[in-house]
Amino acid sequence: MWDFVVKGGPLMWLIMLCSTIAFGVFIEKVWHLQRIKINTDKFMEEIFNLIKHNRIVEAIEKCGNTPGPIARTMKMGILRHDRTRNEIRQTMEDSGIHEIPKLEKNLAILATIAHITPLLGLLGTVTGMVEAFQVIQQQAVSMMPISPGDLAGGIWKALITTVAGLSVAIPTYVAYNYLVSRVNSFVLDMEKSATELVNVLVAKREVT
């Protein structure tokens, strides 16, 4: 492996750096999303029960003690429980606007790496091919024989960076799409929970 990195040239180091960054970002995002993951249905059921029994303060405290964007968004809605439907919904939408960028943090890094590593690999290959043909030209000018081995050796060294770039880009792109699906799941849960909470708060006020 070390031999391939050395023979691939300077761009191989940049590709390996991208690989390390992508791996670090992926691990950090998986850990973060797992840490804020909750059982949304169970959480909302408990919140609704507290609200229906007029235990608003306890519902707010439970939201405050529960990690994640869903709980924080629900807390903002419950704090406005005595306002109109539109005001409650607007408050939670504003909270969601601040929560979504936190969920999407560093995803752009993965997307960028997935796009640029094949280009870096291609650049390394083109550069390597130019160097290989320069050697062939020098040998031809010097009237030295050019063997197929000389040509093949230069070409396979040049292609190493393309292989490396694709090897980094493919799993990075898969990891990016996986994390995007996880984030979208959080966003959908937030929207669904917000709608349900608004209905419960308004219905309770109408009854009382």
Sign of CA dihedral 26, 30, 31, 36: positive
Q: What is the pLDDT of residues 151-203, one digit of tens each?
A: 665 676 778 888 899 999 999 999 999 999 999 999 999 999 999 999 998 88
pLDDT band at 130 (very low <50, low <70, confident <90, very high): confident
Residue type, 49: N
Q: Assess whether pLDDT exceeds 70 at residue 207.
A: no
Q: Give the integer Cα–Cα distance in Å for 59 and 43.
A: 10
Q: What is the pLDDT of residue 70?
A: 93
Cα-only R_g, the chain: 28
pLDDT tens-digit map of 71-127: 999 999 999 988 888 999 999 999 989 999 999 999 999 999 999 999 998 888 888
CA–CA separation, 35 and 3 (whole Å):
40
Ramachandran class of 143: left when φ > 0, alpha when ψ lies in -120 to 50, beta otherwise: left
Based on the structure, what is the number of domains in the chain? Answer: 1
User: What's this model's pTM, rounded to 2 decimal places?
Assistant: 0.84
Query: 91: domain range?
Result: 2-207
120, 15 contact by CB (below 8 A): yes
- More confident call, 21 vs 148: 21
Q: Does residue 56 contact residue 179 with C-beta atoms inside 8 Å?
A: no
Tokens of 92: 């939670």
Buried b (16+ CB within 10 A) or exposed e, 82-121: ebeeeebbebbeebbeebeeebbeebebbbebbebbbebb
**For helices 69-79 and 148-207, angle between their N-to-C axes, nearest 10 degrees:** 30
Neighbours of 133 (CB within 10 A): 14
